[in-house]
Chains A and B, each alone.
Chain A
Amino acid sequence: MNLDPVIPFLLLGILARLVKSDLRLPEALYEALSVYLLLALGLKGGVELAKHPAAGLLPQVLAVIALGLVLPLLAFAGLRRMVGLDRPNAAAIAAHYGSVSVVTFAAGVAWLETRGIAFEAYLALFLAILEVPGIVVGVLLARGLRVGAGFGPMLREVLTGKSVLLLLGGLAIGALLGPAGLKSTAPLFVDLFKGALCLFMLELGLVTGRQLSQLRRSGPRLVVFAVLTPLLFGFAGAALGNLLGLSVGGAALLGTLAASASYIAAPAAMRVAVPEANPGISLPIVLGVTFPFNVFIGLEVYHAYAVHLAR
């Protein structure tokens, strides 16, 4: 069996929280690890991006943006009709599911690498792109077209936030330096990637464990939503990847991206732009259900579906 190292680390973190351990990773380490992961993903993608003509990528980029606009609309419809949520909360949660999670993507990359499955590393570009439309759609759904004066600053904060900045920056540096130029930094940015991801998973396990204990607040309907949505979106993402001519690994990774839910950029943006939405019901399902579901089960399922599509 090919057990991914990230899984036991995530479980250990959850367990530590459940037994009320005093384990606490320093905030600075969490911060440093997230900067590291973003740069590592960006650099790796950038080296590969340089090999592709920009014009050839344009259709893929446009299709991915369209995906990022459609997914939150679907999530919103489901939350309003099937879960019966009010407009602000439905819009805020739709933004979470429309946007993406960097660490879920990183887990997907590690999953494919562990199995020696090839994939397009330049998908890190789509990771950066997909962070934004879900949040914009979420705010529009909550506010209508009268978004008010707060919209500009909110959008600016998302676009200049560390995840978009470091991913795009890493992609640019990677493309600029090329494989030869990056060789000298490979011991840090390539070799240590999985180990660093494991440490980050331990930390996220602690956060997930805490959100799990709050799950009661979200209610059973939202918990079902938090499992069905990534499955549905994951299939949609993998299907789009297949349509765009990505490899099996690439389609699985696009599926993983579509299935993932943002737990950093979206909550922060929604707190400012849609303050009446309650993070007490959205964070438990995003972090307590969807994130571990994707890591434990989703990665496997989206890959299997991508294999099926390629036949």
Chain B
Amino acid sequence: MEPHWHARKLLTIIAEAALERALVAEVRHAGALGYTIAEVRGAGQAGERAGDWEGERSIEFRVVCDEATAGVIADRVMGRYARDYSLVLYLSDVQVRRAERFT
């Protein structure tokens, strides 16, 4: 491994677009420094989300941070929104440059 790579976690949340503002707030609250959002479509246990009009958009929300921060975000999102919204969360290992940009 190159010495200037630093280990971080990538937390990915796939959610209804209605949750976008709430997710941004959670990420800020937990102290993560940034996030990336993409519009996606797909299907899961709760059915298909074709994203073909504004009422049915889904987003993929990505945060790179340390494991503790990812845990805080995931716990709060699960606690607040998992009951009423379709959510997918997963955590993966990533290597980043410029570690100071990620908590």
A interface residues, Cβ below 8 angstroms from B: 24-25, 27, 30-31, 153, 203-204, 206-207, 210, 263-264, 267-268, 271-272, 275-276, 279-280, 283
Contact = CB atoms under 8 A, between A and B. Distances in A.
Nearest to B55: A267
Contacts of A275: 81, 84-85
A204 B53 CA distance: 8
Nearest to A88: B84
A30 B21 CA distance: 23
A210 B50 contact: yes
Nearest to A276: B84
Contacts of A210: 50, 52
A272 B18 contact: yes
| Size category, B interface | 10 to 19
Contacts of B2: none
Nearest to A206: B52
B55 A263 contact: yes
Interface string B35-78: 00001000000010011111100000000000000000000000
A113 to B, nearest CB: 26
A30 B56 CA distance: 13
Contacts of A30: 53-54
A264 B55 contact: yes
14 contacts: A31-B54, A153-B21, A204-B53, A206-B52, A210-B50, A264-B55, A267-B55, A268-B18, A271-B18, A275-B81, A276-B84, A279-B55, A280-B47, A283-B55
B54 A264 contact: yes
